[in-house]
Amino acid sequence: MLESLHIKRLAVEAGFDLCGIARCRPFPENERRFRSWLAEGYNSSLDYLARNLDKRFDPARLVEGARTAVVCAVGYKNEASEGYPASCRTKIASYALTTDYHTTIRQMLRGMLGALRQRYPELQGRAFVDTAPLLEKQLAVEAGLGWIGRQSLLVTPTLGSFVLLGELLLTDEADSYDAPCTLEGCGRCNRCLESCPTGALVAPRTLDTGRCIACHTIEREPQRRIDLHGWLFGCDACQSCCPYNRRAPHHANKAFDPLFDPRAMTSEEWEALDERQFGERFGATPLQRSGLERIRRNARLNAGDGAAENRAE
């Protein structure tokens, strides 16, 4: 049987800020809501969200015999998380200013899993970082880390929603499990819905990815054209306005220090980059996912939209 306090000590040693432990179980209610969301077409160009539905809502289908989910979170808030000037046309989501979190968190989780296997040689399990059909936000709620906010992100009481998640699915039982979070911490606040510049949050906890700037700048692009409102990669608009995020501390783990400041670069400087320069400066960051040409295209669109706004004024 896994000792829960030992697991949490390993999480702290690995550099995580929060760790909770939940039982693995199916989530039929989440599946019902997700299928309804898909039926509305809110996944737009994100076809992969409609795949592997049998696995998405039952962790034991991802790891046979999984009984325990260890859910870890690390804060990444930095200066850019607090928002950009309205005139800025080179905005980048604050999580993307650092070394790609997939790489960093995967290493942290693998270190934990290796230490657990030394203590429990028969233990089987896998580490997950946002690349498998795992219901990680709901597992985080089950593990007591926070609640799902109106912007559809996990909100934690101490770190807000500027957190990145990683999970271990393990085949052994734990000696104790954390109580699920029952807090509805958003109260009557609707700032995230009101702050979304494209109206992508069509209702509480309901995101239309076809209107979402993050989707348009990172994922396979939806057919409709939207104003990117100065964003080159991702969007923090629904987070920077959150009261929990405003009072959350900046990140403590040095692995999430920003590698550059997008406010220090103009659209022309992005345009002037060649592939070698882009790789040297940003190859370790999530920006590599979209690539230089797409970021250049976004810079041109933002420059055009900004000029149109100035003419309208």
Tell me the two tokens of residue 285. 């960051």
Q: What is the pLDDT of residue 224?
A: 84
Extract the runs of DSSP E, i.e. beta strands, from 66-149.
68-75, 91-92, 125-128, 147-148
pLDDT of residue 309: 43
Give Rg (Cα) of the chain: 20
Question: Is 75:253 a contact under the CB 8 Å cutoff?
Answer: yes
**Which amino acids are annotated catalytic?**
130
- Can you tell me the distance from the alpha carbon of 35 to that of 39, in angstroms, rounded to the nearest whole number? 6
Nearest to 130 by CA among 77, 66, 73, 61: 73
Q: How far apart, in whole angstroms, are the C-alpha atoms of residue 115 and residue 34? A: 36
Cβ within 8 Å of residue 5, ≥6 positions away: none
> So what's the pLDDT on residue 54?
87
pLDDT of 283: 96
Over the stretch 240-262, which tens digit does the pLDDT of each residue have? 999 999 999 999 999 999 999 99
Of 109, 119, 120, 122, the residue nearest 169 (C-alpha): 109
From CA 53, how far away is CA 309, in angstroms rounded? Answer: 43
Return the C-alpha torsion angle 280, 237, 133, 73, nearest 10: 80
Both tokens assigned to 104: 């960093």
SS3 109: helix
| Spans of the chain below 70 pLDDT | 305-313
- Helix 101-119 crosses helix 4-14 at what angle (to 10 degrees)? 140
